[in-house]
Amino acid sequence: MTQLNETHAPRLTSWVTSANNNSDFPIQNLPFAVFRRSGSDEVMRGGVAIGDQVLDMAAAAGAGVFEGEALAAAKAAAQSSLNALMALGPDTNAALRLALSRALRSGAAAQSSLANCLVPQAAVEYDLPCRIGDYTDFYTSIHHATAIGSLFRPDSPLLPNYKWVPIGYHGRASTIGVSGQTFPRPVGQTKAPDANEPSFGPCKRLDYELEMGIFVGRGTALGERIDIDAAEAHVFGLCLLNDWSARDIQAWEYQPLGPFLAKNFASTISPWIITLEALAPYRSAFERPAEDPQPLPYLTSDFNTAHGNIDIQLECLIETAQMRAAGEAPARLSSSSFRHSYWTAAQMLTHHSVTGCAMNPGDLLGSGTQSGPQPEEAGSILELTGGGKRPITLPNGEQRTFLEDGDSIVMRGYCQRDGAARIGFGEVVATVLPARV
């Protein structure tokens, strides 16, 4: 259970001056990624974002500025994946965060040792931050669930179990890519409403989903359950997630067992993982409408009720091929917030493990599409267009009901609150290519 400490102080500045100029990555953030210099054959290794720079943890771990638990964590962060760092748990990771904060602050003696460990973000490329062994996608926005349900099941848009159980399905970890991912339009079976039989071909109703990704930190053994009071000790951090969806394939296949090929062709995450500790200033109460069922005792704790939600502002933009060729900026489609989630990260993880399911460092939980209560807060184009019935007109005059080849979707996130420094998640970008037929 992360609390506020000296690393969150809004007055802190860094000797990396770009971190002090309304950056997504001020010294109060210090997120982790895996990187190397663009176009090089360097070994991938862990890095920490500070302003417009990456602190190369492989170089920093040998610079003589860390000791004890912080040094052990720095060495783990220097590896080609962050699984070992995640497995160390919150106390050791907190020691590294504190040491990094003190070493990167304005006037720190470590400046002379770490200055040569910086690499400009503009000159790097990223890999997945860890080995993702398992991926589970939840369905935690009641606004999204109701909107989608009304399109797929008009007579029963929200199923009775939704308000009692954190609904999820097991996804395909092998198709998760890091920001910059390109993928061919999926191909599969679909069935038109007026057709007597299904047909096979490229998806015609391709969609995005604006989500948060939650990375498991310290793992558990088979048969071990995670108590909700301890759940956050098993969360390493959060990232942005675009869980692409083939809506026409989904409509034909999803009953009776749920998503399958409609969801297994691509999912894209942002490169930077913002630790749960960095998000401490932006916690808020977990609340349920009085008329709704309250969570069962195993999904309830005093801390989760008081601080379970995280206020993360989210936005989604589109860049079409025509916009790209004209040098036009991406156009905003919608904005929302993670605070609208019907279930918290702790509740998702607790429920996932309640059967004794083993959780491993680097496992990824998707939050499900984060739609808000207002129409302009929809987290998918399916919702924005009413199932394709209301085309969106973009600033350049183009229209979209669903995504076309060449479209790039850009998602961004940040946290901002009075009395705390603004921190960001960067962005996640991916592009649709023509189907391979």
Active site residues: 144
| Spatial distance between the Cα atoms of 317 and 303, rounded to a whole number of angstroms | 35
Distances (CA, A) of 303 to 227, 230, 236, 285, 346: 12, 10, 18, 9, 10
* DSSP conformational letter for 219: -
Q: Is 319 annotated as a binding residue?
A: no
Label residues 115-126 b or e (16+ Cβ within 10 Å = b).
Answer: eebbbebeebeb
Show the tokens assigned to 404. 């076309």
Q: Which of 311, 359, 367 is nearest to 343 (CA)?
A: 367
Q: Answer yes or no: is 243 a known binding residue.
A: yes
Query: Is 137 annotated as a binding-site member?
Result: yes
Name the residue among 407, 405, 162 with its Cα closest to residue 293. 162
Does 355 show up as a binding residue in the annotation?
Answer: no
* CA distances, 371 to each of 15, 334, 344, 377 (Å): 38, 9, 15, 5
376 Ramachandran zone, left/alpha/beta (phi>0; psi -120 to 50): alpha
Contact criterion met (CB below 8 Å) for 409 and 208: yes
Beta bridge partners of 125: 36
226 phi and psi angles, rounded to 5 deg: -95, 115
Q: Is 209 annotated as a binding residue?
A: yes
Q: Strands 187-190, 181-184: parallel, antiparallel or unpaired by DSSP?
A: unpaired
Tokens encoding 195: 């057709």
263 marked among binding-site residues: yes
Distance in angstroms (rounded) separating the CA atoms of residues 309 and 191: 40
- 56 among the known binding-site residues? no
| 3-class DSSP state of 96 | helix
Helix (H, G, I), strand (E, B) or coil at 352: helix
For 296, other C-beta atoms within 10 Å of its C-beta total: 10
Query: Residues forming the annotated binding site?
Result: 137, 139, 153, 209, 211, 243, 250, 254, 263, 267, 369
Which residues contribute to the annotated binding site for Mg(2+)?
A: 243, 263, 267
Which residues contribute to the annotated binding site for Ca(2+)?
137, 209, 211, 243
